[in-house]
Structure 1
Amino acid sequence: MANPDAFLGKWRLIFSEGFGEYMKILGVSMPMRKLGSMAKPDITFSREGDKYMVKTESTFKTSDFSFKLGEKFEEDMIDGRKTQTLITLDDNNVLTQHQQWDGKKNTITRNIVDGKLVMECVMNGVKCIRVYQQV
Structure 2
Amino acid sequence: MEQFMGTWKLTASENFDEYMKAVGIGFASRQIANLAKPSLLLSVDDQGLISMKSTTTFKTVEIKFRLDEEFDEITADDRKAKTVMRLVDGKLVQTQNWEGKSTTIEREVQGGKLIVKCIMDDVVSMRTYERDE
TM-score bracket relative to the smaller structure: over 0.9
Distance 2:78 2:49 in 1: 24
Give how far 1:6 is off. 1.0
2:26 and 2:95 map into 1 onto residues whose CA distance is 22
For 1:8, the equivalent position in structure 2 comes to 5
**Alignment deviations for residues 69-125 of structure 1 (CA, whole Å, 9 cap, x no partner):** 0100000011111100011002x3111001100000100000100000000000011
In the alignment, the residues of structure 1 paired with residue 50 and residue 14 of structure 2 have an alpha-carbon distance, to the nearest angstrom, of 27
> Partner of 1:65 in structure 2?
63
Alignment of 1:55-94 (within 5 A): 55-90=53-88, 92-94=89-91
Residue ranges of structure 2 left out of the alignment (5+ in a row): none
Kindly tell me the number of residue pairs found equivalent between the two proteins.
131
* Cα separation, 1, equivalents of 2:22 and 2:119: 10
In structure 1, distance between residues paired with 2:57 and 2:87: 30
CA distance in 1, matches of 2:59, 2:5: 21
The yes-or-no answer on 1:41 pairing with 2:41 is: no
> What do you get for the CA RMSD once the two structures are aligned?
0.7
**TM-score, length basis structure 1:** 0.95
Percent identity of equivalent pairs: 37
Pair 1:30 & 2:27 matched: yes
TM-score (norm 2): 0.96
CA distance in 2, matches of 1:81, 1:52: 21
Following TM superposition, where does structure 1 have runs of at least 4 consecutive aligned residues deviating by more than 2 angstroms? Answer: none
